């Protein structure tokens, strides 16, 4: 069996069509898009085409897309950019920003940083599937709240929030709605208008585009303060010479993502459900996250009396690449904050594994993993003092 990659939630290979689209921008159309000569104008024109493609995937207008260096920067720009306009509210009582306990570090750490500077942040809990309760959200909003930031689809367990319902609540309470949609965009339909989203973060490398590029949707009329000061690029919201090849790659990835959304997700749902059915055949194995409100490509399990780290290593020996926590936190041996928020114990969190499928995932790979994993779990349990049977 050749190597099996089931960690598409961490990153994806770049689509060959994306590479082809990017190629001319390294050596032929290399002008600085801000230059007024033809080299610059050619690059700038193509960047605008890319902006259109990104906007089209989420039903936004092209002028509402700000290119960034990725999802992390988009999250920082959205949250700090809005908070900077509410400095006067600092140190007043009642949450200024509402977020959740299951955010990606890019949002969580940004909120913690803002807390240190005097902003009050409320972290909404989630139920055992990873969903917030909209009643909790309504009850948490105070007269000082100016922003809700909530992850669209969780990067670890794949749970998809009730985004439309949430958008109605933020709109009727006059607070801004930011969503980290890095894992959702390109995998499920995302419509910023229908969901009344004000700010949305996306990242290229999760959708078969290059690494180091992403975008922030900022609804027309919404003001944010920039993180970087400089030449005033991107309507003054994000200074720095634009990453032309990266942006062209992101645009192509979005175009392909839109074209392939239905077929890709149908295929992945079938493969995911086969994997879930097979793996849940293992004694004392459980699915983490919501049974059906989950990303088409995500299957997240926990196994009693085994360590996810050991499973991960033994799968790696069998040439199967999966994730224990989220990629960003998997090097730390702390239990995942997302799994703890579901109510799992630290032991249960440590016994969890994430499988994320992608365009290249083949049925034979699902069968291979379904055959190898039960053997590995059994082997580890034989050595585990926690396994009583």
Ligand X SMILES: Cc1ncc(COP(=O)(O)O)c(C=O)c1O
Active site residues: 328
Q: How far is the C-alpha of 370 from the C-alpha of 282, rounded, in Å?
A: 10
Question: Among residues 98 and 157, whose Cβ is nearest to ligand X?
Answer: 157
The Cα–Cα gap between 358 and 5 comes to: 9
Residue 141 or 357: the one with the smaller Cβ distance to ligand X is 357
> 30 by DSSP, 3-state: which?
coil
CB-count exposure of residue 272 (10 Å: 0-12, 13-18, 19+): buried
Q: What does the per-residue mask of binding to ligand X show for 208-247, with x meaning CB under 6 A?
A: ------x---------------------------------
Residue nearer to ligand X on the CB measure, 254 or 380: 254
How do beta strands 199-203 and 214-218 pair? antiparallel
CA distance 27 to 11: 26
Residue 59 Ramachandran class (φ > 0 left, ψ -120 to 50 alpha, else beta): left
Question: Which residue's CB comes closest to ligand X?
Answer: 71
Residue 107 Cβ vs ligand X, minimum distance, rounded to whole Å: 7
Report the residue number, 187 or 233, with the smaller CB distance to ligand X.
187
* Total site size for ligand X, rule CB under 6 A: 16
Q: Are 54 and 175 in contact (CB under 8 A)?
A: no
In this chain, which of 100, 159, 203, 310 binds ligand X, going by CB under 6 A? 203
Reduced to 3 states (helix: H, G, I; strand: E, B; else coil), residue 277 is: helix
Instruction: Please give the structure tokens belonging to residue 245.
Output: 């090849």
CB of 240 to ligand X, least distance (A): 16
Identify which of residues 75 and 120 has a Cβ nearer to ligand X in the complex.
75
d(C-alpha 216, C-alpha 173), whole Å: 23
- Which pair of structure tokens corresponds to residue 212? 């180091």
Beta bridge partners of 65: 217
For the bound state, the minimum distance from the C-beta of residue 93 to ligand X, rounded and expressed in Å, comes to 30
Residues 6+ apart with CB under 8 A from 21: 248, 249, 251, 252
Binding of ligand X at residue 182 (CB under 6 A)? yes
Min separation Cβ 205 and ligand X, Å: 6
For residues 64 to 93, the per-residue mask of contacts with ligand X, x marking binding by CB under 6 A and - elsewhere, is: ------xxx--x------------------
Q: Which residue in 51, 53, 80, 104 binds ligand X (CB under 6 A)? A: 104
Q: CB of 45 within 8 A of CB of 283?
A: no
Q: How far is CA 16 from CA 23, 52, 200, 266, in A?
A: 11, 21, 27, 22
**Entry field: residues in the chain:** 389
| 106 part of the interface to ligand X, by CB under 6 A | yes
Q: For ligand X, which is the closer residue by CB, 102 or 366?
A: 102
Tell me: does residue 183 bind ligand X (CB under 6 A): yes
353: nearest Cα among 6, 70, 1, 2: 6
Q: How far is CA 246 from the centre of its chain?
A: 18
Q: Rule CB under 6 A: is residue 130 a binding residue for ligand X?
A: no
Q: Binding of ligand X at residue 180 (CB under 6 A)?
A: yes
Tell me: does residue 328 bind ligand X (CB under 6 A): yes
Q: Is 155 in the site for ligand X (CB under 6 A)?
A: yes
Could you tell me the smallest distance in angstroms from the CB atom of residue 211 to ligand X?
A: 7
Q: Residues 348-387 vs ligand X: string with x where CB under 6 A?
A: ----------------------------------------
- Least distance from ligand X to the Cβ atom of residue 127, Å: 19
Nearest approach, Cβ of 80 to ligand X (angstroms)? 15
Contacts with ligand X, residue ranges (CB under 6 A): 70-72, 75, 104, 106, 151, 155, 180, 182-183, 203, 205, 214, 327-328
């Amino acid at each position: 069996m050749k190597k099996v990659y089931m960690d598409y939630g961490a990153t994806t290979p770049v689509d060959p069509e994306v590479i082809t689209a990017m190629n001319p921008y390294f050596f032929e159309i290399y002008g600085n898009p801000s230059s007024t000569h033809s080299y610059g104008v050619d690059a700038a024109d193509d960047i605008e085409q890319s902006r259109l493609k990104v906007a089209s995937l989420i039903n936004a207008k092209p002028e509402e897309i700000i290119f960034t260096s990725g999802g992390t920067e988009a999250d920082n720009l959205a949250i700090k950019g809005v908070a900077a306009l509410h400095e006067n509210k600092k140190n007043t009582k009642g949450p200024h920003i509402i977020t959740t306990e299951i955010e990606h570090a890019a949002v969580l750490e940004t909120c913690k940083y803002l807390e240190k500077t005097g902003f009050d942040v409320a972290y909404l809990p989630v139920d055992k599937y990873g969903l917030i309760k909209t009643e909790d959200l309504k009850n948490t909003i105070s007269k000082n709240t100016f922003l809700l930031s909530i992850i669209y689809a969780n990067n670890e367990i794949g749970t998809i929030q009730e985004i439309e319902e949430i958008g109605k609540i933020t709109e009727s309470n006059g607070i801004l709605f930011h969503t980290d949609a890095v894992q959702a965009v390109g995998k499920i339909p995302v419509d910023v208008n229908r969901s009344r989203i004000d700010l949305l973060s996306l990242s290229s490398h999760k959708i078969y585009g290059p690494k180091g590029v992403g975008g922030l949707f900022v609804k027309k009329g919404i003001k944010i303060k920039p993180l970087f000061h400089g030449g005033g690029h991107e309507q003054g919201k994000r200074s720095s010479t634009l990453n032309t090849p990266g942006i062209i790659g992101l645009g192509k990835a979005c175009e392909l993502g839109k074209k392939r959304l239905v077929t890709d997700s149908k295929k992945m749902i079938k493969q995911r459900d086969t994997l879930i059915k097979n793996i849940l055949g293992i004694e004392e194995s459980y699915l983490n996250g919501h049974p059906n409100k989950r990303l088409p490509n995500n299957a997240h399990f926990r196994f009693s009396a085994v360590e996810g780290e050991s499973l991960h290593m033994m799968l790696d020996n069998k040439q199967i690449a999966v994730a224990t926590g989220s990629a960003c936190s998997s090097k730390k041996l702390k239990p995942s904050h997302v799994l703890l928020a579901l109510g799992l114990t630290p032991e249960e969190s440590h016994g969890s594994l994430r499988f994320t499928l992608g365009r290249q995932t083949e049925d034979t790979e699902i069968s291979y993993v379904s055959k190898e994993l039960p053997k590995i779990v059994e082997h580890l349990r034989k050595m585990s003092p926690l396994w009583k049977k």
